[in-house]
Structure 1
Amino acid sequence: MITVLLADDQPLVRAGLRALLDTEDDLTVIGEAADGREAVREVARLRPAVVLMDIRMPGLDGLEATREIVPTGARVVVVTTFDLDEYVYEALRSGASGFLVKDAEPAEIRHAVRVAARGDALLSPGVTRRLIEEFAARPASGSAHLLAPLTAREREVLARVAHGLTNTQIAEDLFMSPATVKTHVNRMMAKLAAHDRAQLVVLAYESGLVRPGHSA
Structure 2
Amino acid sequence: MELRLDSRANQEAIAQASALLKERRIVVVFGDRLALVSFVLVDAIASSLVGAATTEDEGFELVLRTQPDLLICSSDLESGYGINLIRRVKAELPTCQLMIVLVRETQTVVQEAMEAFADGVIFKSSLGTGRGDLINALRTLADGGVYFPEQIRRIAASTPQPDLPPLVEELTPRELEVTAGVARGLKNNAIATLLGLSVETVKSHVGNAMDKLGARDRTQMAVTALLYGLIDPLQ
Query: What TM-score results when the alignment is normalised by the length of structure 1?
Result: 0.77
* Letter paired with 2:83: L
* Letter paired with 1:192: L
8 Å contact kept, 2:146–2:185: no
Hey, what does 2:127 align to over in structure 1?
104
- Percent identical among aligned pairs is 27
8 Å contact kept, 2:167–2:212: no
When structure 1 is superposed on structure 2, of 100-109 and 113-122 the one drifting more is: 100-109
Hey, what does 1:8 align to over in structure 2?
30
Hey, what does 1:146 align to over in structure 2?
167
Whether 2:108 is the aligned partner of 1:83: answer no
> Structure 1: where are the runs of 5+ without partners?
none
Hey, what does 1:93 align to over in structure 2?
115
Aligned positions, number: 207
Q: Deviations over 1:67-89 (max 9, x none)?
A: 10112122110012462453133
Check 1:208–1:112 CA distance in 2 against 1; reply closer, same or farther (3 A cut). closer
Check 1:82–1:151 CA distance in 2 against 1; reply closer, same or farther (3 A cut). same
Check 1:119–1:195 CA distance in 2 against 1; reply closer, same or farther (3 A cut). farther
Q: What is the deviation of 1:171? A: 2.4
> Structure 2: where are the runs of 5+ without partners?
1-22
Which structure has more relative contact order (CA 8 Å, sep 6+)? It is 1
Runs of 4+ in 1 over 6 A off after TM superposition: none
Hey, what does 1:47 align to over in structure 2?
67
Whole-angstrom distance in 2 between the partners of 1:200 and 1:121? 10
* Letter paired with 1:131: I
Q: What is the deviation of 1:176? A: 0.4
Whole-angstrom distance in 1 between the partners of 2:151 and 2:133? 18
* Letter paired with 1:175: G
Match of 2:146 among 113, 118, 121: 121
Hey, what does 1:33 align to over in structure 2?
53
Q: What is the deviation of 1:60? A: 1.5
Query: What TM-score results when the alignment is normalised by the length of structure 2?
Result: 0.72
Whole-angstrom distance in 1 between the partners of 2:101 and 2:164? 29
